[in-house]
Structure 1
Amino acid sequence: MGEHTDGGQDLIGREDLVEEIASVLSGSQYLGAILVGEAGVGKTALARTVARELDGSVAVLPISASPSLRKVPFGALSPYLHSLSINDVGSSVAVYRSIMAHLESSSNGQKKKMPLFLVDDSHELDDNTSVLLSQLIAGRRARVLALARTAPNPSSEFGSLHQDGLLRRYHVRPLGAPEVHELCRRELGGDVLSSVSATLAQTSGGNPMFLLALLRQGKRSGYLGVRNKVWRLVGPAPPLDVSLVDLIKVRFRRRTPEELSVLETLALAEPMPLDALVHCTDRPAVTALQEDGLIAVEGGRDRLVTLSHPLYGEVIRQDVPAGRSLAIRRKVLEVLDHDSSTADGFLRFVAWGLDCGLPPDDKTLLRAAVVANRLHDAEFALRAARAVHEPKLRGNALVEIARAQTTRGNLPYARQIVDEVLDQCESFTLAKEASLLSVALRVRGSNAAERIREDVARWKRITDRIASEMEPPDDPQVAIGLGVSANGHRILESFALNYEGRFQESEKILREVLADPYCSDEVRLAALSLLGEALGSMGKAVEGTQATGEALQIIAAHGHKFVGHSEFVITRHFVSMAHAGLWDEIEELLDTLVRSKASGPSSFTGITELSEGLIALRKGLMGSARTALILGVEGLRESDSNQLMPMALGLAAFACTMVGDTTRAKVYATEFEAGASIGTRQAQLLGKVHVVAANALFQGAARSIEELHVLAKQAATDGMTVLAAVAYELAGRLGDERCFEPLARLTESFEGPEGAVMTAMAKAAVQKDPNALIDAAELAQSSGYLLVAAECLGKAVRYLSQRGEEHKSRTVQQKLNTIIGQLEGLQSPQFEAVRSTSKLTQRELDIARLAGQGYSNRDIAEAQGVSVRTVEGHLYRIFAKLGITSRDELPGADPASIG
């Protein structure tokens, strides 16, 4: 029973399976179950949990099979054969009688259900034991829970019982991404960046035993580090731990030399087309390994073959001698098409050529550097680019070197290279690539918009010079080069305008670019992304989401050609959807494009958590928002190519304030002020309005409200209408009533659910109409805006009470109490105006307890030292606050339910 046991804690992601298996073992339809899965997937832990679930209702008899005992008849049953003499050990009849005696004694005279054999590694049982156990099971003398590897299959006897319908078979699969993340949190004892758990999920293949080994080794080696109570990856991954290597090597024992040759070839070459693998190795060996689940063959034209687990290749490569490795690579190079359908396959082809002294041509090397940079593999990009020697390609190679140095954080060196390339540039394409990289470096500093315009001016000078020097001047290629470059200039000008929050000006330019005949696919995806950002920021979020969604489709249609633009596009797509309030669509995108992929050092780190935190914050799920935004801030410290940190810090400060975490709120607010000049103007102002709202706890609501009005008017004047609406909304949350009229005007033309919710709330608040507020609350609740719904109902309760409509007020109060209970961890005094309608004073709490325990008004008056009339008045207010009509509904001595 040596597989993953999960530390004896409850299993993660297996709850439904445990319940189902326990039900099968307790029912009458089946006589047992077989759990099948790869080593370490958690079969043993699952079986032990099922045994605990049965809670002593059956006697559990563990049996542990092993390769060594397989050679001994009935060897696995030895713990239950103590009464046998040496002469009887080989007798099937004697063994049967001994086991039957043990089964009868295990019941201890009690009327229990049939005993349960818990058989670990049942595929290692000797034939005699398999036959005996199957006879006991078929004769209804016992049940069985058998554990077996995927390959080899369970014993033929158990297989027959399954085919006869007597045993239920379950395939225990690896953990999915959410379960891996939760297991990482449990093992590390703290919050974990999603990029960390995604990387570990890919490396471990979701195998719990492998994952736990990687986590423990990561902590020991320093590969996993913690900062501000958040775990992250630090530096390169260490070599696999010896114990983990030994666990994996067990899978390859007893393989033939031909099969080992296939495994070695795949370890060096995966993914590899099936035809190429068979040509280099042995077809029967390939078939055998596929049947045993050690290799996997995909569908598709190439039928790519890989090892069935990500760690297998690393373990196998360690044992391949250098000479044999070189021989295998040379052999594969002879049959492998360098135009591989996968980026990994293409890069491996180039790497082998360099390793074997047979480098490809310079154009292929340059393409390899480009692909490696798109995949954030800076080390190989440098290796390939530095191997380019052709003078005409040297400038392009230098750009890829600068890009790789940017990924590695060597920004001054990258800047030096880029400037050198642009000074000597003789190509339209090279001028574009170098200028775009220069802009990527600009946004990491201050005065980014001004410096971007300097880059645009330089790019224009370069294109004009190149065109003037080309012969003949009327060459169509010159016109194309100038046309594409001109659109690139306008894209960067729009980028600078968006950076400054001048979205109306940017929209005009971008629409002209999209209508231009020289609008290439790359220019189009950039234009659509920036247009979506602009439209979303001006209240046209649905149209903006359509634009950014089209940009994502362009990326998907071109394979890995434009994958380097993914983060730029996806970030703007998230923001557009958030402005629209399309929460379900954001969750779907996170699952399909981000959470499902292992993240490299700069691939979506922090963006996932920031998006989740923003969703939770808008919904009013404050505890979840705080957790996600803290993780988002830490993730953006690793990589923030879109300069989202100012926004993240502001949102985190506000979320911390709303749950009473004043210490972190102050830290984030201080850090925001220290870096307020970095990032886009919209990100700066969005962070600012949330910091101002958070500071209301420290400087008073009145001052924060006035600051928010100033920021809102400034944003509205500059065309950032969504940002202005957020500022007015936060002012209203602090108790300001003046904000609702301008908020209603701004949001009336907004697209999407969020605009409709804000408009309904603001108009009802202006009218002070309780019925309209109730309707607005229902709309907000159905759209997922619980905090807004609570605010609307709180106002409705107050206005109804002022009108003397106490019965309706109590009914609305009941709805409000329900919603308040869903606002996770909300503790902020800023929300006191809403919460106070249902919060009892200490005197009211004491009276409610006594009344709930059956004391009369006179008894309560004597106990509290007040008059009966005073008690009656308190009870009236208690009933109104709690939305109840009789003493029977009082929560009595349960203060948690009335506080």
Structure 2
Amino acid sequence: MVHRYGDGPSANERRRDLVHPFCRDEELQAIIRDLSQEACRAVLLESDMGLGATTLLQSVAERAHGNMPVLAIHGTPSLAKIPFGVLAANLRASGPTSLRSPVEMIRDMLALFSETAVDNSGNLDDSQNTPLVILDEAEFIDQPTAELLVHLVQVGSVKLLASYRTGSEMTEPLPSLWSKGVAERMRLLPLTRSEGHDFCCAMLSGRVLPSSSWHMWSAAAGNPLLLSLIISDAYQDGHLSQSNGAWVADAAMLPNGVQLQGLVHGQLRNLSAAAEEALALVALSEPVKSATLREIVSAEAIEELLRRRIVHAPAWEPGQLRLINPAYGDVIRATLPHTKSRRLHLQLIEKLNAEAPNPEALLRRTMWALDSGLPTDDGQLLQAGTFACKLYQSETGLHLASAITDPKFLSRANCVKARAKFNMGDYAAAVGLLEAAEKQATNVVDLLFGGLLMNAAKAAMGLPLKACYEDAANLRRHGEQLALSAENDSEQIIWITQERATVLELLTMSREGRYLEMDSPIRTILAASAPAYELDHKLHCSIALAMESERLSALGQPESGLTAAFSALAMTHQEDRDVYFLPEMIVTRSQVAALLAGDWVQAEQILAHFSVDMGPATISFGGSIDVARGMVMLRQGRMSSALPVLRSGIVSLQQSDPQQMLGLCTAMAMYAGAGTGHLDATAPNLTPSGANNCMYLVSIHEQAFAAAALEYREKNGQGLTGLIRLADDAAKRGHLTLELTALALAVGFDPDSYMDRFASVAAKVQGPWAGAVRTYARVWASGNARALVEAGEELLSARIYQHAQKVFHKAFALSLGSHQQDVALRARDGLARVAHATGETATQGVTEGVSSVESKAVLTKREGEIAALAASGASDKDIAEKLGVSVRTVEGHLYRTYAKLGIAAREELDLVLP
């Protein structure tokens, strides 16, 4: 179904000012730290336009103001040739600065600092109260000023913070400060994805869907100024709306609003005609080989663009040229006159196409031809449309596929449209288009092109398993029919269609949880070879390995499952062979394996890989990132941290949920909310659907977390019974990992009843998580406080916080009962470290530990007062005087307090009192 975004801001609301956050705190602290060191006399800051150098310099000036004299200078091209011209406005002496000698200028500068000197009291620690000169755009000052500043820095009269633009050089001799060892260099970098997300949230003063922040951050290439303009334009134009409390950007939004256009056109002002021509070519066809461009336009034009930092040669693409920022391309292409675009295409496309462009360049150049109204080969349109959909440029994919008219490509064109609809979350429309494509298929390539996507779309719709098994049977029959008309290739056609049908059956068996039965067909696929259809067979092998990863993960071998997933990811494929989302499907299985193994390092690396290397997939698959991150936190016992992540995931998955993770995400959110006492009244009550519309192991986890949430909420044993029922069913099927998951949640409610079974199953499951579980179960019934503490420390090191907490609680209680003060201290310290890691308060954990050994009675108010004073070190006499009671009364209250708390002496009070 298509999900509608929430209502956007009204016209009046859009008129309010957005927040413009400062995003260079780390760099600010680094500059302050460097300038505070005696050996560092200058910091030279390199930055591209829009990365925040000027704002950073202003922040340093504000921090230094009141602590030392500060002189701010801004270089400008108009004064760059006038001796001391940039200093004129700061000096009181009359007459032109150009007529003064360097000695006079030094005297004037020192006098200026002397007039504004104040006591140094803080942020920039310099015992000599050294003045600070802040110089912005140091490439645009005159040489005498540069020489003056270098002299003042070298003799220790001032410290210097100077910024300059990447690709330029500071005026000599400023660079010599670094070569002489008295200056530090720093370079501002674009915001990382995480920083970009935080920037979006701060600017919009609320939660932002991760896929939406990625969309805007990637369009700006992490440039804070461009990102702020993209957000502002989108907000003003109504392309940002709120859904369930989170900001959502229109995924089809192009960053070419009025403010962004104004900035980009300002940067392009005064280009030569030749450079404008070269710029248009790069924008219309990027990436473009530098050698090819030099054949078309002059070398001087290219050098002008490079010098102005409008284009660059990325280090990861040797010999290629791109615009300095993707947002520039969107603006230039949107505002380039149609006639000029058409003329350039007619004149130059043959030379550009001769370089065998990569998928991105092919897509760009195909759109260039189509938008210019020029005839375009249907095969190229199909190829470009396929690339567009895999890059999640869904509107572009629809546009390209709709332009195809050749009957021999219509079947695959419908598949491209279906993938675009799938990306948008309109699974019913995708199925309709794929069914039409299947009827149009006249050859094996057409027949195989959309079949995998059909299976996924029907699963996303929740259609019965029977429909997917029927698709596999129909494919076998269709392949046999095609083979009748292919004399020389009939055996290979039957073979490859039979293998594809087996793959479809495997995907459906995954939804049923028939993991034991999947072994044989997986082995058959991996052992086969298909010379005539090698590319399709290779695709089948990748899927078979992904299925093997899922199968092994469920059967108690998640580490082996992770190895299988990595083998699948290592295989390369021809991207225009199919419209299926193969990389995303494999990455999801690798995430599952890492999570079930408890390999947090691998799980985090996979999440980072998805976020960076597969960024465009965030538009459709971004919700699964939050599901994985939330599950890591829950497996570690970090419920409070998991809850906001999972709530964000719910919003993402309501927009697009191709692998049907919404049920699991909601169940985990309800579990985390119930477990932390933050029941979310807006979340729907979850009842496991049983629709088999996702991986079976995902469905079982959904049911398990739903049952645990019910037990937290109702506390009547109903949820616990449900967990044991799931564990029993998993045991019958041989699904050891799923049995262990259900038991882990059950043990959280009743460790004594299920600990033996928990330990027995854990011993059969691979991975650090099962190993930690074995440690937990082994010591639980030991009654040895010291062994429990040692086990707790092992669990804490493995980041299995919830089990570490329970073990420390028990160790603390036992150590108090046996008066082992050193063990109690270690247990209390362990609880504090658990609390710090999970975001809970340390006293909460200690109080829970004490409750199992203290008397049923609660301390009276007077007992609590006396106990607190005694714990702080006050003597009985001091307490008696402070409270106005007798020493005997104090002693009596303390005696009763020790009995209630299960301790023997006042030295142990500090252990048990919060």
After TM superposition, the score normalised by the length of structure 2 is 0.87
Q: Deviations over 1:783-820 (max 9, x none)?
A: 21011111223334455667x46447624532442244
**Could you say if the C-alpha distance between residues 395 and 165 of structure 1 is closer, same or farther in structure 2, counting changes exceeding 3 Å?**
same
1:726 to 741, 744, 754: 741
In the alignment of these two chains, the number of paired residues is 875
Letter in 1 for 2:753: R
Q: Which moved more, 1:653-662 or 1:107-116?
A: 107-116
Partner of 1:894: none
Q: Deviations over 1:833-891 (max 9, x none)?
A: 657459996646534322134444577687799773442242466585xxx97549839
**Could you say if the C-alpha distance between residues 316 and 513 of structure 1 is closer, same or farther in structure 2, counting changes exceeding 3 Å?**
closer
**Could you say if the C-alpha distance between residues 145 and 858 of structure 1 is closer, same or farther in structure 2, counting changes exceeding 3 Å?**
closer
Return the alpha-carbon distance in structure 2 between the equivalents of residues 28 and 413 of structure 1.
68
Partner of 2:218: 202
SS class of match (2:517): helix
**How do residues 605-644 of structure 1 correspond to structure 2 at under 5 angstroms?**
605-644=622-661
The answer to whether structure 1 residue 752 and structure 2 residue 752 are counterparts is no
Letter in 1 for 2:229: A
1:64 to 70, 74, 81: 74
| Aligned partners of 1:338 and 1:349 also within 8 Å | no
Letter in 2 for 1:824: T
**Could you say if the C-alpha distance between residues 251 and 165 of structure 1 is closer, same or farther in structure 2, counting changes exceeding 3 Å?**
farther
1:511 to 513, 523, 534: 523
Q: Deviations over 1:89-126 (max 9, x none)?
A: 75447655543432222226999433222122232324
Partner of 2:803: 788
**How do residues 59-138 of structure 1 correspond to structure 2 at under 5 angstroms?**
59-70=69-80, 74-84=84-94, 86=95, 90-92=99-101, 97-107=107-117, 112-138=128-154
Q: Deviations over 1:219-241 (max 9, x none)?
A: 33332333233233235325534
**Could you say if the C-alpha distance between residues 596 and 91 of structure 1 is closer, same or farther in structure 2, counting changes exceeding 3 Å?**
same
| Aligned partners of 2:45 and 2:186 also within 8 Å | yes
The answer to whether structure 1 residue 352 and structure 2 residue 362 are counterparts is no
| Consecutive unaligned residues in structure 2, runs of 5 or more | 1-17, 121-126
| Aligned partners of 2:674 and 2:709 also within 8 Å | yes
- Displacement after TM superposition at 1:198 (Å): 2.4
Question: What is the Cα-based RMSD across aligned positions, in Å?
Answer: 3.5
Partner of 1:594: 611
**Could you say if the C-alpha distance between residues 109 and 653 of structure 1 is closer, same or farther in structure 2, counting changes exceeding 3 Å?**
closer
2:870 to 847, 851, 868: 851
1:495 to 507, 517, 521: 507
Partner of 1:3: none
Return the alpha-carbon distance in structure 2 between the equivalents of residues 435 and 503 of structure 1.
22
Q: Deviations over 1:111-160 (max 9, x none)?
A: 94332221222323245544444444455443322222224322224234
1:478 to 490, 515, 523: 490
| Aligned partners of 2:43 and 2:185 also within 8 Å | yes
Letter in 2 for 1:47: L
Letter in 2 for 1:890: D
Partner of 2:43: 33
Partner of 2:53: 43
| Consecutive unaligned residues in structure 1, runs of 5 or more | 1-5, 892-896
Letter in 1 for 2:430: A
Return the alpha-carbon distance in structure 2 between the equivalents of residues 870 and 180 of structure 1.
58
- Displacement after TM superposition at 1:766 (Å): 5.6
Return the alpha-carbon distance in structure 2 between the equivalents of residues 218 and 354 of structure 1.
27
**Could you say if the C-alpha distance between residues 172 and 564 of structure 1 is closer, same or farther in structure 2, counting changes exceeding 3 Å?**
same
**Could you say if the C-alpha distance between residues 82 and 378 of structure 1 is closer, same or farther in structure 2, counting changes exceeding 3 Å?**
same
- Displacement after TM superposition at 1:260 (Å): 2.7
Letter in 2 for 1:415: V
2:448 to 408, 423, 432: 432
After TM superposition, the score normalised by the length of structure 1 is 0.89
SS class of match (2:616): coil
| Aligned partners of 1:44 and 1:120 also within 8 Å | yes
**Could you say if the C-alpha distance between residues 487 and 730 of structure 1 is closer, same or farther in structure 2, counting changes exceeding 3 Å?**
same
**Could you say if the C-alpha distance between residues 845 and 263 of structure 1 is closer, same or farther in structure 2, counting changes exceeding 3 Å?**
farther
Letter in 1 for 2:522: L
| Aligned partners of 2:252 and 2:393 also within 8 Å | no
Return the alpha-carbon distance in structure 2 between the equivalents of residues 49 and 466 of structure 1.
71
- Displacement after TM superposition at 1:291 (Å): 4.3
1:813 to 827, 832, 844: 827
Return the alpha-carbon distance in structure 1 between the equivalents of residues 217 and 208 of structure 2.
13
1:872 to 887, 891, 895: 895
Return the alpha-carbon distance in structure 1 between the equivalents of residues 297 and 630 of structure 2.
51
**How do residues 223-302 of structure 1 correspond to structure 2 at under 5 angstroms?**
223-237=239-253, 239-298=255-314
SS class of match (1:218): helix
Q: Deviations over 1:712-751 (max 9, x none)?
A: 2123223333222122111111134222222222221111
Return the alpha-carbon distance in structure 1 between the equivalents of residues 408 and 724 of structure 2.
58
Q: Deviations over 1:603-650 (max 9, x none)?
A: 431122221111111112222211211112222122211111111111
The answer to whether structure 1 residue 890 and structure 2 residue 910 are counterparts is yes
- Displacement after TM superposition at 1:306 (Å): 0.5
Letter in 1 for 2:405: H
Return the alpha-carbon distance in structure 2 between the equivalents of residues 163 and 514 of structure 1.
60
**How do residues 304-323 of structure 1 correspond to structure 2 at under 5 angstroms?**
304-323=320-339
- Displacement after TM superposition at 1:178 (Å): 2.4
Q: Which moved more, 1:255-264 or 1:539-548?
A: 255-264
Letter in 2 for 1:614: M
| Aligned partners of 2:289 and 2:355 also within 8 Å | no
- Displacement after TM superposition at 1:601 (Å): 6.4
| Aligned partners of 2:20 and 2:228 also within 8 Å | no
Partner of 2:3: none
Q: Deviations over 1:22-50 (max 9, x none)?
A: 34434443432221211221212322333
**Could you say if the C-alpha distance between residues 267 and 471 of structure 1 is closer, same or farther in structure 2, counting changes exceeding 3 Å?**
closer
Return the alpha-carbon distance in structure 2 between the equivalents of residues 669 and 657 of structure 1.
13
2:383 to 351, 358, 367: 367
| Aligned partners of 1:794 and 1:816 also within 8 Å | no
**Could you say if the C-alpha distance between residues 498 and 211 of structure 1 is closer, same or farther in structure 2, counting changes exceeding 3 Å?**
same
**How do residues 457-476 of structure 1 correspond to structure 2 at under 5 angstroms?**
457-467=473-483, 469-472=484-487, 475=488
**Could you say if the C-alpha distance between residues 313 and 661 of structure 1 is closer, same or farther in structure 2, counting changes exceeding 3 Å?**
same
Return the alpha-carbon distance in structure 2 between the equivalents of residues 95 and 863 of structure 1.
75
SS class of match (2:247): strand
Letter in 1 for 2:211: S
| Aligned partners of 2:636 and 2:801 also within 8 Å | yes
Return the alpha-carbon distance in structure 1 between the equivalents of residues 866 and 895 of structure 2.
10
Letter in 2 for 1:605: G
| Aligned partners of 1:659 and 1:827 also within 8 Å | no
| Aligned partners of 1:660 and 1:827 also within 8 Å | no
| Aligned partners of 1:58 and 1:112 also within 8 Å | no
Letter in 1 for 2:838: E
Letter in 2 for 1:217: D
| Aligned partners of 1:25 and 1:31 also within 8 Å | yes
Partner of 1:660: 677
- Displacement after TM superposition at 1:336 (Å): 1.4
Return the alpha-carbon distance in structure 2 between the equivalents of residues 832 and 668 of structure 1.
31
**Could you say if the C-alpha distance between residues 839 and 483 of structure 1 is closer, same or farther in structure 2, counting changes exceeding 3 Å?**
farther
Q: Deviations over 1:238-274 (max 9, x none)?
A: 5534343333334334433322322222122211011
Q: Which moved more, 1:567-576 or 1:128-137?
A: 128-137
**Could you say if the C-alpha distance between residues 396 and 545 of structure 1 is closer, same or farther in structure 2, counting changes exceeding 3 Å?**
same
